[in-house]
Each structure stands twice: as structure tokens, then as C-alpha cells.
């Protein structure tokens, strides 16, 4: 059982807006939110060994997950006093609403492990899961898996090698997993929403199209791996290669706007993820040394490819995308978006070549169809790349500028210790993802009048005839007239690489030696200082480079320093 | 033995769950209505009807003005930046920055299609109410397609609600304008037959038979002049418009009373989109008012008084000097339409022009703040009278009577000397077009009027300086729409 209850109230006392304008609507609101979750898991397990060689163990179980969310909120206004901040003083109701929504997930699962003399390992597992928010005929899904392992070092022939020099296990597995992601509680059944009013009448609006065929998303993963231990496992290496094909991806499919709907939740085609994972642990110094140094390193590379999309009559069954110049075929083509054979999360953007240094230089600029004033360019305006060479800058002059998803991710941890003193340094990295730095473009393009600009813009903006720089002129109306940095066109420099290496944790700790402890009659005393998120090595200009996508001004991950003292008696 | 017992318990537990599991997963929705449970009762139909008007309100608050007037010669840059509206009055809309998408209009079409599909099978206590609801859905579909086809030309024609997502139903190419108008006209006839009486709906905020006659007049005037329908269409328009005179409608004596918040749904209104407190935010009129930070300090107390609280007001668009020059000093519509703000000169006299605010629909002041929630008028009687004049003139009849009815109210005691006297057909046309602007400025009509009279390129300065402006009379289809509708083609003349 798990409960969250959250209640709050708000009050806006009367205030002067300007000199003579007293706003006295005195809005008051209160809300209550409850989350109640019940979970039951029942597991039976059984194990048995026969003839000291055949080892079985088995597990079977059942799980239940039920969740009820309820909300109640009310807003009123028109109280005649500032003294009471709660709703009982309000004269008129503004908005009152409550709602309840439930979800149930059930599952049966079982697992059978068998090994013969610890040499050959075999394991079966299966799940049979049902979820209340899928289409009625498709609620239950069956997800089996099998894995095999071979401990080569238990084989007789392994004895030719010196003992404990090399441990080797080969593994292979294939399994199916079911997933429903963040599927809404009633998305499959379609929904008619309520709450809006027209002329005092309560309205009912078709907000979600039903999809009675909505079913489990299935990912089938094939994995091969090896566990290698060297020198009595002082060095351990794990290598895995996998290919995961996800079918019936639960995704919102963008619909043609003329259907009157933006999207529908559907099992959309299939997606392939391929990758390798590498993990390495090593104790650099022998176990009997006073000084110890351990290194743990892991790294993985994943790439995605869209295998199949619902048939919609277009080439590659494309959904969305950009109609741009494609240098590969020397013609216009639809690129990006979702296309069979393509990848997810591709960005296309206009390419900035530089900044016109002078008005004369700008006089020969191609006609700019994106700008509000497209036929007059000045010094300080951006030189856009006319990719198709038709003498005009238009929406076809866009080019691939990166992808939202990273290629490599991983981490490196070093631990040094000497007697009671130890030092831990944990770092991680991600490369290959592109971040659209919207917040930076917002400030430099002055998309809102009262916004500040970045120091980079202060230092580098074009200011007078002849300036050689890479940032355009900073003035409100000309900026908008020329669309140098504009919501519909920022140029590739705002699609920044998010590659980073972070110093995630640095810890120094010291444990008092036993001789001292014995005097104090204390079991142990440990001091430590930990710094988290100390530094990024990155070229990204925003605050937080950790994931791709559009950065509206993400919160940075806080740096913190923790001092610890641990005493046990 | 113990193992067997264990197994028995296991079997019992599992089968107990098995029995109840399918039931456990049948979770009934508490706070939403699912598709299976809807369209069963009269109440569902009433709720869906209100829902359709909520969709209408969504397009009416800003988009009807943008499509119907923002590209014409009536507004220009205000004091606080263009707010994205410059592309309209400068006529630089393009596929990358195309203005309103048709998506919200098709949401409205879909709501009408749902009613047209499901309401006939619902039992009603009163058959009249049932046909009234159906009539309103047909009227809404006709009106919405009429707005859209004048904007984008040929359209994907959807007469069935969207209930699935297969490409065969969701992907539709555009049908030519002739087919769109055929559907519009059929829907209008359906609506006129279905309305059980001549009455206006509550607050005159619902489609009614007289309101649909006004729509019919408007549609046939358009097809008569723009789609080759000729005199016979204009005859049809005139007949429909004349029918309205038999309903409960009149010109109010005071022009300002038409737009007064406390006088919503007055006798001059045929159809208005209702904006009410606690139901919606403000309308496009807020963008033509002013924001606190843009109010200069050196204005007279009277001016400050006149501006009052501004609420969400902003000064993104202001009336053009052309529009302001159209009004005679003694035309009461002038000061009811806009107000010029002057700052004080060195001598303390307010003589330095600062900016202009539109006061026609300046909303409601409540709790010390302003909300721009006057109704958005789709058709009113003065509009009908001027359409009658337009139809008469096109047919070679004298349009003076209706024009003068409108002008008599505008000039009051000063009417004599300001009467309209018919001249040549061309002169009358010019006068009617101008009179419509004086009477209906900022009511979302001017761009359509310019197109219908074939005068857009001649009169809109931002179109005159373009090469081959003809293609600009239709709007571009945005790239984002095209990327999702591969069977839809761009309008001619627009870059991709």
C-alpha cells in the first residue's frame, strides 16, 4: 500500500495595478490530490538438486498492481475581505472540478533455472500480464524468454591452463518483454472530455479517438555476451552485443490536421535498437598490497532504426519530416520525420555561413523568403546557405544538423585506498546527442522585449560596418525583420553538440584505525567529504548537457558537497 | 506430502485469481466518457452540441479575425512590437510561417460530423429539439467550410467524423472549390429545412434559421460574384437576406449599444459567438488595446480614465490611418470604433499623437480588471442590410434605401447632408465597400469583402508592392500541415 495526499490552497489578496487601479477579485483556490496504490506479490519458490549434478530451482508468482488517483479543486473569487484566504469567503465560484481515475495491472510469472554441474546453465522465464488500459481484446500478453550459459572454466579441458588464470563464461539469451509506457488510463477506449462550458451549458467534446486494438508493446531482445575473469578475477570484463526489435511501439501517431485531431495513440510499426555494451573492472595492484587502486569502466553504444511504419501511401510510409534539398539525389526530397529505414529524432535547420560585414556585401544577398523583409539585407544580417542554389533562401534550404539521441554513454570510476584513507572519483560521459538550445536563441534573438541577452552576444554581436563576427546584429525590429535568429529559423549554431564528461562524484573518506578506536571504546568512526556533480567538460553553452532535445532553459543538476561523520558504538 | 499440499494451495490460489482477473481488469471510467458509452441519450446530444460551440469559440477568439481581416488595410504595427501579426498586414505569409492551421477548423467540422452521424439515431422527447440540433450542426459545417474555402481554396472534404486512423480514411486529397460550395449549399438547405421555427437561440449565440439565411445570403453573394454563379445566385442571396426581415431583428437606435457588454444578444444580432466570464479567455480585441507598460505617463487624467484598467490588453495592432480617415467627424461610429491617445506637449496640452486603441469591443471591467469577453459577432442586421444593398446593386436595382438605413443611425440628427444617393453601379459598389468598413471595422469582415468585391489588390498597399500578387489571395498551406498530409498539394505560387 502506498498513499500520497497533497492538499494546498492559494489566495490572491487585492492589489494595486498601477496607481489608481485596485484589482480586488481576490481569487482563492484549494485543491486536494490523492494517489492510492495497492500492490500484492505472491511468490512460491522451490529448489532441488539430484545426484549433486542436476540443480533445479523454480519460482512462480502472481502480482497485482492497482492505482487510484483522485483530484478535487475549486476556485472562487469576489471575497469582500483580504482577511480570509480560504474559499469560504468567496462570493462566486469560478471553477470547480473533481476527478477519479483507475488503473489495474495483473501478472503471472514463473522462472525455471537448471544447471548441470555448474557448467551448462539453462533458464526459462515467462510472464503473462494484463493491463486495464489496453484494448479489450488485447489486454493480456505472453512474454517468454530463454537464456543459456556455458562456464568454460568448469570444463575438464580447462585444466590445461594455470588455475585461476582465466575464467570464461559465454552467454546467450532471447526474450520478449511487454511494455505499456505512460499510456493514459482510458486512451484505448477513446474519450469524450468534459469541463468546458458554452453559454452556461456543459460541453462534451471528443478529445481522444478510440483505438480498441491498442495492445502490448513487445520488445524482442537477442543478446550474446561473455564474462571474462583474469588472474583470479582481478580483472573482469563483460561484453554484450544486442539487437532489440520493438514491435507495436505504443506511440502517438500524428494525424493529418484535416482529421480534426492532432494524434492518436497506436501501436506504430517497429523499431530496431542495436548496440554493444562493455564493462571492465580491474584491481590494478595485487590484493596483498596496502595501497589499492580499482578501476571500473563501462561503455555502451546504441543506434536506432525504424523498420516498419503503418501504411499511409507515401514513400517509406513517412510521417512528418522536411521537404528539403537532398544532395544525395541532387533533387528535393522528404527527409527526417519518421520514415522506414530512418532514425528517430533528427533535426533539420538552415545553415548559417557567416555574417555580412558591410551593407555592400549584403547587397548581393539572395532573396530571403523566410524573413519578413526578404529583399533587403544589411551588414550584420546572417548569410544563409542557399543549399539548392536557386538564388533564394526558402524552407527547402535546410540540412541535417544532428540527432536527439546519443551514440555512446558510459562511465569511469577510480577508487584509491591506503589503509583507512580512500578516494573515489566517478565520472560519466555521453556523446553524439544534439541539443536545440532554445533558451539561448530566445535571448539572443530577443523573442520577448524584456529579455536579457547572453554575454556571448554582448561580446560578439555585429555592431558596425566591417565587423567580422559570427553573431548577427542585436536590435529588436531589424532582428525580426531579417529573422536572423527567429523561432522559425535560428541557424545550426543553436543546435549544439551535447557531448560531455562529468565529474559526478569525488569522495575522500578516512576511517580511524582500530588502535585508536579501542582506546575510545567505539566500534568505528568514519569521516567523509563528497562532492557531487562538480564539473562538466563540455562545449555546450546551456546549463545542462545531459540529454538531447529542446532546451527551454533546463535546471542544472545541483552541485553539492556533503560532509559526513559516521560513528557506531 | 507437504509438497503436494503446497501444490494444491498453489493451484487454488492461482485459479481463484484466474476467475476474478478478467473482471479486475474491467476498470470503468469514472470521470471520462468513453466512445462506447456515448451517443445514447438526449443529454449526450445536448452536451455534444455545446461542445461544438466550444470548438467554434476556439476558432473565433483569434483565428476568424486573422483570416477575415488581419491581411486587409485596417491594421498596422502598434507600439510594442508586432506579436507575429506583421506577416498578415504586410502580406508575407509563406509556407514556413503560414498563420493559423486548418486543424482547429477541422476539429469544429468533426464535432459537427459527429452530431450529423449519431443524433438521428437518438430518441428525443421532442422531435423539434432533435431537428433543431441537427440543423445547427449542418449550419456549423456550412459556415466552417465557407471560412476555410475562402482561405485555402480547395479542401479535403470531410463529411464523416474521424473514428479510426487507417491511411485510407485519414489521408484525403483536396476537392475543388466547386465541390466544397456544393456541400456548403446543400448543408444550408438541410439546416433551413430542419429548423423547426424562425426563433433565435438563447443569447442569439446559436445558429438559427434567420442566422442561416444570412449565411446563405453571404455564400450566394460570394458564388455569384466569385465562382461564376452570376445573377441567379445573387437573386438567391437577395431572397434569403430579405427573409431575415420577417424575424425578430432590428437596427438598434444607438450604435454603441450593439457592442455593449451588458447588452449582449441584443435585437441587432443574428449570430454571435458567446464569450462569458469563467468560460473563456479574451478575444483578439485585447491585442488592439494597450498594455500597462506602454501607457505614457504624460497623458491627461481624462485619457487615463478612458483607457481604464487594461487586463490582458496589448498594443500589437493599431488601426491604419486609411481606416481612420474614412470617418466623418459627426459619424458616431468613429468614437465607438477607436480612440486616439495624445501625450502632452510643453504647454501641457494633449497634442502629440501617441497611438490608437480599438474600443469597439472593450469587454467587461470586473473586480478592477478588464476582460475582453464581448461576444464575437458573426452576423448582425446592419451587415445584412449592406449585403442587401450589395445584391440589389449587382442586379441593377437602387441600393440607397438599405445604405441610408445604416447611415441614418450613424449620423443621427446630422443625417441630412450625409444621405447616400445612388450613382453608377461601379460608384455604388465602391461606396458599399467603404460603408461596410465604416460599419463593420474589426468584426472580421474586411478581407472577405475585399475579395468578394475583387478589390484586394487595388486597395491593400501591402499587396500592390508584390510581384504577381494574385496567388496571395489564397493562403499558403503550412509546411507542417503538408508534412502530415502527403495527399494535399500546396496552393499555386507558394514556395514549399
Exposed, middle or buried, A237 (CB in 10 Å: 0-12/13-18/19+)?
Answer: middle
Q: Model confidence over A355-389: pLDDT tens digits?
A: 888 888 888 888 887 777 667 788 888 888 888 88
- Using the CB atoms, write b or e for A203-230: b if 16+ within 10 Å: bbbbbbbbbebbbbbbbbbebebbbbbe
Chain A residue with CA closest to B33: the answer is: A192
Q: What is residue A18's predicted lDDT score, i.e. its pLDDT? A: 65
SS (H, E, C) A482-537: HCCCECCECCHHHEEECCEEEEEEEEEEEECCHHHHHHHCCCEEEEEEEEEEEEEE
Distances (CA, A) of A33 to A7, A8, A71, A468, B80: 6, 9, 5, 57, 41
Please give the backbone phi and psi of residue B256, each rounded to the nearest 5 degrees, phi first. Answer: -65, -25
Contacts of B367 in chain A (CB under 8 A): 23-26, 77-78
B132-151 residues touching A, CB cutoff 8 A: none
Asked if residue B486 lies in contact with residue A313, where contact means CB atoms within 8 angstroms, the answer is: yes
Asked if residue B277 lies in contact with residue B363, where contact means CB atoms within 8 angstroms, the answer is: no
Read off the pLDDT band of A480 (50, 70, 90): low
Q: How far apart are alpha carbons A4 and A71 in whole angstroms?
A: 12
Interface check A187 vs B, CB under 8 A: no
Answer whether A369 sits within 8 Å of B495, measured CB to CB.
yes
Q: How far apart are alpha carbons B301 and B155 in whole angstroms?
A: 53
Q: What is residue B100's predicted lDDT score, i.e. its pLDDT? A: 93
B214-233 residues touching A, CB cutoff 8 A: none
Separation in Å, CA of B372 to nearest CA in chain A:
16
Q: What is residue B495's predicted lDDT score, i.e. its pLDDT? A: 65
Answer whether B110 sits within 8 Å of A261, measured CB to CB.
yes
Which comes out higher in pLDDT, residue B260 or A47? B260
Read off the pLDDT band of B426 (50, 70, 90): very high
Contacts of A251 in chain B (CB under 8 A): none
Answer whether B109 sits within 8 Å of A394, measured CB to CB.
no
Q: What is residue A450's predicted lDDT score, i.e. its pLDDT? A: 65
Q: Tell me which DSSP letter residue A324 carries.
A: E
The SS3 assignment for B32 reads coil
Answer whether B309 sits within 8 Å of A17, measured CB to CB.
yes
Separation in Å, CA of A367 to nearest CA in chain B:
12
Chain B residue with CA closest to A99: the answer is: B31
Exposed, middle or buried, A2 (CB in 10 Å: 0-12/13-18/19+)?
Answer: exposed
Q: What is residue B4's predicted lDDT score, i.e. its pLDDT? A: 47
CB-CB neighbours of B428 under 10 Å: 22
Question: Which among A212-216, A541-545, B1-5 has the top mean pLDDT?
Answer: A541-545
Q: Model confidence over A237-272: pLDDT tens digits?
A: 899 999 888 888 887 788 889 998 888 878 878 888
Read off the pLDDT band of A291 (50, 70, 90): confident
Interface check B496 vs A, CB under 8 A: yes
Answer whether A256 sits within 8 Å of B205, measured CB to CB.
no
Which comes out higher in pLDDT, residue B137 or A71? B137
Answer whether A311 sits within 8 Å of B30, measured CB to CB.
no
Interface check A567 vs B, CB under 8 A: no
Contacts of A335 in chain B (CB under 8 A): none
Which comes out higher in pLDDT, residue A212 or B471? B471
Answer whether B34 sits within 8 Å of A192, measured CB to CB.
yes
| Domain chopping of chain B, boundaries | 284-374
Q: What is residue B20's predicted lDDT score, i.e. its pLDDT? A: 52
Q: Model confidence over B40-77: pLDDT tens digits?
A: 889 899 999 999 999 999 999 999 999 999 999 999 98
Contacts of B278 in chain A (CB under 8 A): 94-95, 197
Q: What is residue A541's predicted lDDT score, i.e. its pLDDT? A: 87
Q: How far apart are alpha carbons B286 and A158 in whole angstroms?
A: 84
Instruction: Choose the closest CB to A94 out of B32, B109, B278.
Output: B278
Separation in Å, CA of B398 to nearest CA in chain A:
40
Q: Which of A90, A259, A321, A369 to mutate to test the interface with B (most CBs of B within 10 A)?
A: A259
Say yes or no to pLDDT of A77 above 90.
Answer: no
Interface check A342 vs B, CB under 8 A: no
Answer whether A24 sits within 8 Å of B96, measured CB to CB.
no
The SS3 assignment for B217 reads helix
Q: How far apart are alpha carbons B54 and B146 in whole angstroms?
A: 19
Write down the mean pLDDT value for chain A: 83
Q: What is residue B2's predicted lDDT score, i.e. its pLDDT? A: 47
Place of cell 494574385: B470
What's the rounded mean pLDDT across residues B433-439? Answer: 96
Place of cell 476467475: B19
Q: How far apart are alpha carbons A335 and A351 in whole angstroms?
A: 16
Q: What is residue A477's predicted lDDT score, i.e. its pLDDT? A: 52
Spacing of C-alpha A289 from chain mean position: 43
Contacts of A183 in chain B (CB under 8 A): none
Say yes or no to pLDDT of A479 above 70.
Answer: no
Interface check B367 vs A, CB under 8 A: yes
Contacts of A106 in chain B (CB under 8 A): 17, 21, 24-25
Cβ contacts of B221 within 8 Å, gap of 6 or more: B233, B234, B237, B387, B390, B391, B394, B452
Q: What is residue B180's predicted lDDT score, i.e. its pLDDT? A: 97
Asked if residue B275 lies in contact with residue B61, where contact means CB atoms within 8 angstroms, the answer is: yes
Exposed, middle or buried, A384 (CB in 10 Å: 0-12/13-18/19+)?
Answer: buried
Distances (CA, A) of B354 to A237, A249, B79, B82, B298: 76, 58, 9, 17, 11
Which residues make beta-bridge pairs with A16? A22
Q: How far apart are alpha carbons B103 and B419 in whole angstroms?
A: 45
Instruction: Choose the closest CB to B33 out of A130, A192, A311.
Output: A192
Contacts of A20 in chain B (CB under 8 A): 304
Cell of B105: 477548423
Interface check A266 vs B, CB under 8 A: yes
Answer whether B24 sits within 8 Å of A64, measured CB to CB.
yes
Separation in Å, CA of B24 to nearest CA in chain A:
7
Q: How far apart are alpha carbons A174 and A242 in whole angstroms?
A: 10
Distances (CA, A) of A497 to A305, A492, B109: 21, 11, 44
Instruction: Choose the closest CB to B484 out of A78, A98, A320.
Output: A320
Which comes out higher in pLDDT, residue B494 or A478? B494
A368-387 residues touching B, CB cutoff 8 A: 369-370, 372, 374
Q: How far apart are alpha carbons B159 and B462 in whole angstroms?
A: 37
Contacts of A209 in chain B (CB under 8 A): 35, 162-165
Q: What is residue B194's predicted lDDT score, i.e. its pLDDT? A: 96
Q: In this predicted structure, which of A440-454, B201-215, B299-313 has the lowest mean pLDDT?
A: A440-454
Say yes or no to pLDDT of B19 above 50.
Answer: no
Q: Which of A29, A199, A372 to mutate to test the interface with B (most CBs of B within 10 A)?
A: A199
Contacts of A260 in chain B (CB under 8 A): 103, 106-111, 158, 162
Q: How far apart are alpha carbons B18 and B11 in whole angstroms?
A: 10
Q: In this predicted structure, which of A58-72, A441-455, B374-388 has the lowest mean pLDDT?
A: A441-455
**Ranges assigned E (strand) in A284-403:** 291-308, 322-326, 331-335, 346-350, 352-355, 367-368, 382-384, 392-393, 398-403
The SS3 assignment for A376 reads coil
Q: Model confidence over A228-237: pLDDT tens digits?
A: 888 877 888 8
Asked if residue A396 lies in contact with residue A369, where contact means CB atoms within 8 angstroms, the answer is: no
Chain A residue with CA closest to B89: the answer is: A372
Q: Model confidence over B35-47: pLDDT tens digits?
A: 777 888 898 999 9
Q: Model confidence over B148-168: pLDDT tens digits?
A: 999 999 999 999 998 887 777
What's the rounded mean pLDDT across residues A421-438? Answer: 91
Q: How far apart are alpha carbons A542 and A531 in whole angstroms?
A: 22
What's the rounded mean pLDDT across residues A281-304? Answer: 86
Exposed, middle or buried, B124 (CB in 10 Å: 0-12/13-18/19+)?
Answer: middle
B156-185 residues touching A, CB cutoff 8 A: 156, 158, 161-167, 170-172
Interface check A329 vs B, CB under 8 A: no
The SS3 assignment for B244 reads helix
Contacts of B6 in chain A (CB under 8 A): 44
Place of cell 468546458: A196
What's the rounded mean pLDDT across residues A406-431? Answer: 90
Q: What is residue B1's predicted lDDT score, i.e. its pLDDT? A: 43
Write down the mean pLDDT value for chain B: 90
The SS3 assignment for A226 reads strand
Answer whether A480 sits within 8 Å of B86, measured CB to CB.
yes
First-last CA distance in chain B: 79
Amino acid at each position: 500500500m502506498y498513499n500520497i495526499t497533497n492538499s494546498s490552497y492559494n489566495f490572491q489578496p487585492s492589489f494595486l495595478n498601477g496607481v489608481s487601479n485596485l484589482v480586488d477579485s481576490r481569487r482563492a483556490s484549494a485543491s486536494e490530490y490523492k494517489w492510492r496504490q495497492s500492490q500484492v506479490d505472491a511468490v512460491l519458490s522451490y529448489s532441488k538438486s539430484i545426484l549433486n549434478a542436476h540443480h533445479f530451482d523454480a519460482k512462480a508468482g502472481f502480482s497485482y498492481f492497482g492505482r487510484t488517483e483522485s483530484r478535487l479543486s475549486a476556485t472562487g473569487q469576489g471575497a469582500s475581505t483580504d482577511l480570509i484566504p480560504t474559499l469560504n469567503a468567496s462570493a462566486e465560484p469560478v471553477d470547480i472540478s473533481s476527478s477519479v481515475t483507475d488503473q489495474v495491472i495483473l501478472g503471472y510469472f514463473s522462472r525455471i533455472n537448471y544447471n548441470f554441474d555448474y557448467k551448462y546453465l539453462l533458464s526459462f522465464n515467462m510472464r503473462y500480464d494484463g493491463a486495464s488500459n489496453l484494448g479489450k481484446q488485447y489486454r493480456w500478453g505472453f512474454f517468454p524468454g530463454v537464456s543459456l550459459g556455458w562456464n568454460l572454466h568448469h570444463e575438464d579441458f580447462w585444466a590445461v591452463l594455470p588455475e585461476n588464470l582465466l575464467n570464461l563464461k559465454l552467454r546467450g539469451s532471447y526474450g520478449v518483454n511487454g511494455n505499456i509506457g505512460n499510456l493514459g488510463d482510458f486512451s484505448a477506449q477513446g474519450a469524450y472530455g468534459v469541463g468546458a462550458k458554452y453559454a452556461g451549458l456543459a460541453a462534451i467534446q471528443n478529445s481522444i479517438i478510440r483505438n480498441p486494438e491498442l495492445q502490448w508493446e513487445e520488445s524482442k531482445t537477442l543478446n550474446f555476451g561473455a564474462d571474462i575473469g583474469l588472474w583470479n578475477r582481478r580483472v573482469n570484463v563483460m561484453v554484450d552485443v544486442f539487437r532489440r526489435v520493438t514491435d507495436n511501439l505504443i506511440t502517438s501517431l500524428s494525424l493529418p490536421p484535416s482529421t480534426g485531431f492532432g494524434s492518436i495513440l497506436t501501436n506504430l510499426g517497429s523499431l530496431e535498437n542495436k548496440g554493444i555494451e562493455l564493462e571492465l573492472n580491474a584491481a590494478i595492484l595485487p590484493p596483498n598490497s596496502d595501497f589499492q587502486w580499482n578501476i571500473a569502466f563501462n561503455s555502451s553504444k546504441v543506434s536506432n532504426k525504424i523498420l516498419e511504419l503503418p501504411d499511409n501511401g507515401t514513400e517509406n510510409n513517412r510521417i512528418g519530416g522536411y521537404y528539403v534539398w537532398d544532395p544525395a539525389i541532387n533533387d528535393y526530397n522528404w527527409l527526417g520525420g519518421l520514415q522506414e529505414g530512418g532514425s528517430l529524432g533528427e533535426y533539420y535547420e538552415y545553415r548559417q555561413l557567416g555574417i555580412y560585414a558591410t551593407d555592400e556585401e549584403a547587397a548581393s544577398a539572395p532573396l530571403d523568403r523566410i524573413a519578413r523583409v526578404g529583399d533587403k539585407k544589411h551588414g550584420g544580417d546572417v548569410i544563409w546557405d542557399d543549399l539548392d542554389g536557386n538564388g533564394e533562401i526558402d524552407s527547402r534550404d535546410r540540412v541535417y544538423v544532428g540527432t536527439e539521441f546519443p551514440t555512446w554513454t558510459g562511465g569511469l570510476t577510480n577508487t584509491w585506498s591506503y589503509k583507512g584513507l580512500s578516494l573515489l572519483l566517478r565520472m560519466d560521459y555521453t556523446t553524439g546527442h544534439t541539443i536545440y538550445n532554445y533558451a539561448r536563441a530566445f535571448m539572443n534573438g530577443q523573442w520577448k522585449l524584456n529579455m536579457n541577452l547572453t554575454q556571448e552576444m554582448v561580446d560578439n554581436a555585429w555592431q558596425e560596418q566591417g565587423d567580422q563576427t559570427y553573431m548577427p546584429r542585436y536590435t529588436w525590429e531589424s532582428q525580426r525583420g531579417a529573422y536572423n535568429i527567429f523561432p522559425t529559423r535560428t541557424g545550426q549554431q543553436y543546435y549544439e553538440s551535447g557531448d560531455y564528461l562529468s565529474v559526478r562524484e569525488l569522495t575522500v573518506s578516512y576511517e580511524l584505525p582500530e588502535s585508536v578506536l579501542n582506546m575510545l571504546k567505539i566500534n568505528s568512526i568514519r569521516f567523509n567529504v563528497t562532492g557531487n556533480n562538480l564539473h562538466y567538460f563540455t562545449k555546450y553553452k546551456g546549463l545542462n548537457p545531459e540529454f538531447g532535445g529542446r532546451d527551454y532553459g533546463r535546471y542544472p543538476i545541483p552541485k553539492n558537497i556533503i560532509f559526513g561523520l559516521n560513528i557506531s558504538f | 506430502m507437504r509438497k503436494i499440499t503446497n501444490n494444491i494451495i498453489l493451484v487454488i490460489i492461482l485459479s481463484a485469481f484466474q476467475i476474478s482477473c478478467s473482471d479486475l481488469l474491467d476498470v470503468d471510467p469514472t470521470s471520462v466518457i468513453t466512445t462506447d458509452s456515448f451517443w445514447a441519450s438526449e443529454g449526450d446530444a445536448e452536451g455534444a452540441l455545446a461542445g461544438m460551440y466550444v470548438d467554434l469559440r476556439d476558432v473565433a477568439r483569434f483565428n476568424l479575425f486573422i483570416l477575415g481581416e488581419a491581411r486587409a488595410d485596417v491594421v498596422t504595427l502598434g507600439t510594442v512590437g508586432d506579436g507575429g501579426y506583421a506577416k498578415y498586414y504586410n502580406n508575407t505569409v509563406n509556407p514556413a510561417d503560414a498563420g493559423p492551421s486548418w486543424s482547429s477548423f477541422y476539429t469544429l467540422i468533426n464535432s459537427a460530423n459527429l452530431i450529423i452521424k449519431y443524433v438521428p439515431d437518438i430518441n428525443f422527447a421532442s422531435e423539434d429539439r432533435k431537428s433543431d440540433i441537427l440543423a445547427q450542426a449542418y449550419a456549423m459545417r456550412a459556415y466552417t467550410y465557407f471560412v476555410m474555402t475562402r482561405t485555402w481554396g480547395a479542401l479535403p472534404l470531410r463529411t464523416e467524423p474521424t473514428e479510426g486512423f487507417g491511411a485510407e480514411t485519414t489521408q484525403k486529397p483536396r476537392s475543388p472549390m466547386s465541390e466544397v460550395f456544393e456541400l456548403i449549399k446543400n448543408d444550408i438547405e438541410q439546416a433551413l429545412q430542419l429548423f423547426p421555427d424562425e426563433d433565435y437561440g438563447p443569447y442569439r449565440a446559436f445558429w438559427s434559421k434567420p442566422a442561416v439565411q444570412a449565411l446563405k445570403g453571404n455564400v450566394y453573394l460570394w458564388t455569384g460574384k466569385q465562382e461564376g454563379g452570376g445573377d441567379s445566385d445573387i437573386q438567391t442571396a437577395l431572397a434569403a437576406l430579405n427573409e431575415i426581415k420577417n424575424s425578430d431583428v432590428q437596427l438598434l437606435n444607438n450604435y454603441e449599444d450593439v457592442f455593449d457588454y451588458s447588452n449582449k444578444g441584443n435585437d441587432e444580432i443574428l449570430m454571435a459567438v458567446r464569450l462569458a466570464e469563467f468560460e473563456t479567455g479574451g478575444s483578439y480585441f485585447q491585442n488592439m488595446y494597450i498594455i500597462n507598460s506602454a501607457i505614457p505617463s504624460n497623458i491627461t487624467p481624462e485619457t487615463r480614465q478612458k483607457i481604464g484598467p487594461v487586463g490582458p490588453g496589448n498594443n500589437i495592432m493599431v488601426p491604419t490611418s486609411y481606416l481612420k480617415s474614412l470617418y466623418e467627424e459627426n459619424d458616431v461610429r468613429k468614437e465607438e470604433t477607436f480612440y486616439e491617445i495624445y501625450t502632452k506637449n510643453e504647454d501641457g496640452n494633449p497634442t502629440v499623437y501617441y497611438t490608437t486603441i480599438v474600443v469597439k469591443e472593450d469587454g467587461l471591467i470586473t473586480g478592477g480588471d478588464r476582460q475582453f469577453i464581448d461576444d464575437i459577432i458573426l452576423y448582425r442586421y446592419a451587415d445584412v442590410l449592406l449585403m442587401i444593398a450589395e445584391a440589389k446593386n449587382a442586379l441593377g436595382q437602387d441600393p440607397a434605401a438599405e445604405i441610408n438605413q445604416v447611415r441614418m443611425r450613424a449620423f443621427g440628427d446630422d443625417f441630412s447632408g450625409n444621405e447616400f444617393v445612388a450613382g453608377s453601379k461601379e460608384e455604388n459598389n465602391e461606396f458599399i465597400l467603404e460603408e461596410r468598413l465604416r460599419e463593420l471595422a474589426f468584426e472580421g469582415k474586411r478581407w472577405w469583402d475585399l475579395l468578394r468585391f475583387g478589390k484586394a489588390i487595388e486597395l491593400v498597399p501591402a499587396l500592390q508592392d508584390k510581384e504577381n500578387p494574385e496567388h496571395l489571395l489564397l493562403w499558403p498551406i503550412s509546411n507542417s500541415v503538408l508534412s502530415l498530409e502527403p495527399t494535399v498539394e500546396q496552393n499555386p505560387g507558394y514556395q514549399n
